[in-house]
Structure 1
Amino acid sequence: MKTHFWKALPLAIFLVFQPAAQAGVLKDHPGHWLGDMKIPEGQTVKIGAEIFARADGTIWASVASPDQDAYDIPLQSALEEGASVSLKHAVFTLKLTWDKDHFDGEWKQGDAPLKFELRQVAAFPAKARPQTPKGPFPYKDETLAIAGANGVTLGATLSIPNGTTNPNVVVLVHGSGPGTRDLGVLGHKHFAVLADHLARQGVAVLRYDKRGNARSTGDYEQHTTAHLIDDLHAVVKAMKARKEFKRVGVIGLSEGPGLAAAVAARDPKSVDFLVSMAGIGMNGLDTMLVQDRVVAKDHGADPAQVERLMAYVRGFYDVLMAHDEAAPRIAALKAFQQTQPAGVMELVKKFKMDGGSLSLDWAAKPFMIAALRSNPPADWRRVRSPVLLLNGSLDHQVPAEENLGGLVATLKAGGNRMVESEVLPSLNHLFQTAKTGKEDEYGQIDETIAPIALKRIAAFVVKQR
C-alpha cells in the first residue's frame, strides 16, 4: 500500500526511532499529558505526550495531536536532563519540564518556540466511532512481549474467547506505514474492531505493534520488507508454540497479506490459512505505477496530464531503483527533477504527486527501494494453505481488478485449489462502506469495517478446523 495513514499535518508527524531514556522524569510521570498550544496564526491545537513502558520494560514516550487525529506518534529520541526531557523527531522537538503538578511544554519547530502547559488526563480525546469495542467482553486479553527479528521486542495483545477449547487463532498484520496493534486510522481502530468481532465468534486473535511503534522496540524508519516478514514469522511461531490453538492463520491488510504469503511460502507448516484484505497481486513497481495513476486522476488531472505525470513517475522510480545507496540515489533524483521538461514539475506539485513514494524523504529510506523491488506474486505462487481473498470495489489504493485477479491467477498457477475470492461492493481500501473510495473519505465515514466484510472473514476463519 502506497499511502501511510497520516494526514498532511501542519505540525509534521513523520518520525524515526532510537533508544529510550531509562530513568528520571519519564519514569516518575507515566500516563497521558495534554495541553492547548496556540500557534502563530492564532489557531489553538491540542498536543499530548504519553509516557509508558515498552514491551521490553524500557521507559519511552509518544506524541499525539488529537485535533488532527494523530496518536501514538513514534519518537526519534527522548533525552533527559534533570527535570526536563526533550522528545525529538526530525522536524520538531517537544521539551517537557516538570513543575510541581504539570509539565511546562516548549514546542520547537522553526525559529520561534511555542510554550504551553500539559496536565495529566485519563486519555486523549478522540472521535467516537460506533464500532469501537465496548464491554462487557466475552474474552480475556493477555498483554505479551514477543521476541521479533534483530533483537526487537514486539508488544502485542492476545484475545482468547471465554469457554472455548482449542480455538483457531489468527494474527493480524498491518499494511504499510506506522501501525499499532489497534491499527488506529483517523479515529478508527480497525484491528481492535476486527479482533473483537472474531473473538465473539470463538476465534482467538493476536495483534501487535509494528516495530518502532507504540510498545514495540526497534527502528521503524530503517525497516525493510524482510524485517517485517521476520517479525511476522516470529509472532506466528510464538502462537504455534503455545499448543492451545487448533490452527494458526494470518489476516493481513494491504501490504500485510504479502508478508503473510512470504511466511507461508518459506515455512509452510507455520501458517494454516490466510485472509487477504486488499492484498497486492503485482510486483512492487507495477503496484506503485497503478496507484500513482489513480492518485493523479483523483486529484483532477485530465488524460493528457496523467500521461505526462506518469512519464515522470516511471522515470523517478527507474532512477530510484538504479542506486543501492541513499546519498547517490537522492543526488540522482535531484538531477532527474532538474532536467524535466518545462511544466512537468508544476504539474507534479499541482496534482500532489510529490509526496509519499514520490518524495525525496521516502526515497532515502530502505523500505522504499525494498518495496519497489518486491515481488509478492513469487511468494503467493508457493502458498498451499486455504486462502480467502477480499477486495473492495471502490478501493483506490489497491484496485480490485488488477490485484485480486492477479492473486487468484498466481495461486491457481501454483496449484492451490483452496482459494476463495470476492469483490465486496461499495467498500473502500479500509473496507468501509463508501461513496467514492477516495482517501479523503476515510475519516468522514463513521463505519470502521463494513459488517459484510466482518461476517465473510469470520465465516472463513471459523470453518478452518
Structure 2
Amino acid sequence: MRLFFQKSLLLTFAFAFHFSAHAGLLEAHQGRWLGEMKVPDGPTLKLGAELFVRADGSYWASVSSPDQGVYDIPVKNIKQSDASLEFDLVFAALKLTWVKDHFDGQWLQGPTPLNLHMQQVAEFPKKTRPQTPSAPFPYEDIPLAITSTDGVTLGATLSIPNGQTKPTVVILVHGSGPGTRDEELAGHRPFAVLADDLARRGVAVLRYDKRGVLRSTGDYENHTLPQLVDDLNAVVKAMEARKQLSNIGLLGLSEGSQIAAEVAVRNPEAVKFVVSLAGTGLPGLEMLVLQDRVWAKDHGANPAEVEQLMVYVRKYYETILGNAEEKPRIDALKELYARLSPADRTLVEQHKMNEGTLSLSWAEKPFLRASLLSNPQLAWRGVQCPVLALNGSLDHHVPAKENLAGILAALRAGGNRKVESAELVSLNHLFQTAKTGAEDEYGEIAETIAPIVLQKVAQFVIKQH
C-alpha cells in the first residue's frame, strides 16, 4: 500500500521534509514559485513550491509536481539561512537560493543534482477539468477559521446559496492523506465539484483543510484519528452556532466516512444524515490486508503468489499490533523480514510489499498502528440517522463488495433501517468512470465525479431537508 485508504500518486520522491525556519527569506518571498528540471534520460518536469505564513505566525511550505498532477504536498520542516531555503525529503532534498528576483534551485536525488530556475507565478499550471467550478456562482464563499479542541485552527470555506433561507449544510470530510478543502488529487478537485453542485441546488456546504495542511494549523505528520474526529466535531459545533443554517449533514470520503460516522454518533441531535462515499466497513487489519491483496493482483502476482504474500503481510501488521513502542516494533519487523527465505524476499520486493504501509518509515508512525486497531463497524452500529452509502465497483483502495457489506451489516446490527446504498458500476475510488480502476488512471480521466454520483447525493440530501 501507499497511504491508508488512498495511495500516494505518481511522485517517485517521498515527502517528509525537515523545516527549521526563522523570519526572513520565507516571509519576504511568500507565494508560488515554479521551475523546470531535466531528468537524465527522462522528461523535463515542472516543480512548484508554495510558501506563506499563516495568521497565527506558523509557516506553510509545500511542493507540487504539475506535470504529474500532484499538488500541495506539505513540508514538515524547512532549513533557512539569510539567502537560502532547504527542504530535506526522505529520498531527496531541494535547496533554493535567492538571486535578485528569483530562486535558483537544486533537486538532490541520486548522483546528479538537477538545476532549477524558479520564478514567481500566480497559479501552478493545471490540466483542464471540465467539471471544475466556473463563474457565475449563485452562492457566496465565506472564508472561516474554526478552532478545534486542542487549539488547532482549521481554515475553511462555507458556501451559502444566494436567496436561500436556513438551508441545509453538508460538511465534507477528507479521505486519507494531506487533504486540502478541495481534496485535490491528480489535478482534480472533487470537494470543490461537490460543493458547487450542491450549492447550485440550494444546499450550503462547508469544507476545510485537514490539520497541518494549507491554512489549517497543527501537525499533519503526527496526527491521530481521534484528532481528526475532534476536528470534525468542532466544525459541527461551529455550524450549529450559525443560526442562518438548518439541518447539518456529513459527507465522508473513504476514511472520512468513518470519521463522519463517529461524529454522527457523538452528535445525534445535531447530525441529521450521513453520506458515505467509498466508505470503509471492515476492521483496520482486514482492510489493509484486503488492500494489499488487491495491490498484489493488480501488479501481476498469480493466485499462489498472492496467498504467499498475504501470509507475510498479515504477520507484518500483526507484529505492529503486538508492539506498542516504536523501537521494539521496528526491531521485530526487521527480524520478520530477515527470517524470510531468499525466494520469499524476492517475491516481496518484486511486488513492492515492502513499500507504503509495509515500509519501516510507515511503521514508525502512530497513525498506522491506530488505523490497524480501528474498527469502523463499531461507529456505524451507533449511527441512527439516515445514511446513503455509495461505493464504486472498480475501487481498488476500498473494494466495494466487502466494505458495503460491512457498513450495511453494522447499520442493521444497530437497528438503523433508514439506509440507501449502491455499488456503482465502472466507478473507481474517486468515483470517476474508469476502465480498470487503477490509480494511474486518475490523472488521465477528464471526469472528476460521475454525474450519477452527484445526482444521487443531491437527491438524498435535499430529501432530508
The answer to whether the superposition gives a TM-score over 0.5 is yes
The aligned counterpart of 1:124 is 124
8 Å contact kept, 1:22–1:58: no
What residue identity is the alignment partner of 1:211?
A: R
Asked if residue 15 in structure 1 is aligned to residue 39 in structure 2, the reply is: no
| 1:453 equivalenced with 2:453 (yes/no) | yes
In 2, Cα distance between the equivalents of 1:76 and 1:28? 20
In structure 2, C-alpha distance between the alignment counterparts of 1:159 and 1:275, rounded to whole Å? 18
Percent of pairs with identical residues: 59
Match of 1:6 in 2: 8
Task: Give the residue type in structure 1 aligned to 2:34.
Answer: L
Residue pairs, 1:44-55, within 5 angstroms: 44-54=44-54
How many Å separate the matches in 1 of 2:445 and 2:29? 36
Matched, 1:263 2:263: yes
Query: Could you say which residue in structure 2 is the equivalent of 1:137?
Result: 137
**Residue 169 of structure 1: aligned partner:** 169
**Aligned partner letter, 2:4:** K
Q: Give the distance between the partners of 1:188 and 1:55, measured in 2 at CA.
A: 27
CA contact (8 A) 1:22 1:59 kept: no
Runs of 4+ in 1 over 6 A off after TM superposition: none
| 2:6–2:397 Cα contact (<8 Å) kept | no
Which runs of no fewer than 5 residues in structure 2 stay unpaired? none
1:228-307 correspondence to structure 2 within 5 Å = 228-307=228-307
Alignment of 1:75-86 (within 5 A): 75-86=75-86
CA distance in 1, matches of 2:412, 2:111: 59
Other-structure match for 2:334: 334
| Structure 1 residue 99 corresponds to structure 2 residue 138 | no
* SS at 2:401 equivalent: helix
Q: CA deviation at 1:18?
A: 6.2
Q: Take 1:285 and 1:449, find their aligned partners in 2: how far apart are those partners? A: 29
- CA apart distance, 1:142: 1.3
1:218-265 Cα deviation digits (max 9, x unpaired):
221211111111111111111111122111111011111100111111
Matches within 5 A, 1:35-74: 35-41=35-41, 43-54=43-54, 56-74=56-74
The aligned counterpart of 1:387 is: 387
Shift in Å, 1:116: 2.4
- Secondary structure of 2:291's counterpart equals helix
- Distance in 2, matches of 1:219 and 1:59, equals 11
Q: Secondary structure, in 3 states, of the residue corresponding to 1:72? A: strand
Residue 190 (structure 2) pairs with residue 180 (structure 1): no
Contact 1:55 1:153 in 2 (8 A): no
Q: Residues 96, 127 of structure 1: CA spacing in aligned structure 2 closer, same or farther, 3 A cutoff?
A: same
Question: How far does residue 89 in structure 1 lie from its aligned partner after superposition?
Answer: 3.6
Q: Distance in 2 between matches of 1:400 and 1:141?
A: 34
Q: Secondary structure at the match of 2:382?
A: coil
CA RMSD of aligned residues (A): 1.9
Kindly provide the CA deviation profile for residues 3-49 of structure 1, in whole angstroms up to 9, marking residues without a partner as x. 44422423x13225867x46322222222111112344464321111
Does the residue aligned with 1:443 lie in a helix, a strand or coil?
Answer: coil
Deviates more, 1:375-384 or 1:394-403: 394-403
8 Å Cα contact 2:430/2:449 also seen in 1? yes
Query: Which shows bigger deviation, 246-255 or 269-278?
Result: 269-278
Contact 1:6 1:70 in 2 (8 A): no
- Structure 2 contact 77–87 (Cα < 8 Å) conserved: yes
More off after superposition, 144-153 vs 134-143: 144-153
User: 1:136-215 maps to which residues of 2 (within 5 A)?
Assistant: 136-215=136-215
Residue segments in structure 1 that go unaligned for 5+ positions in a row: none
What TM-score, normalized by structure 2, do the two folds share?
0.95
- Aligned-partner Cα distance in 1 for 2:311–2:7: 26
36-45 or 384-393: bigger deviation: 36-45
Q: Which amino acid aligns with 2:196?
A: D
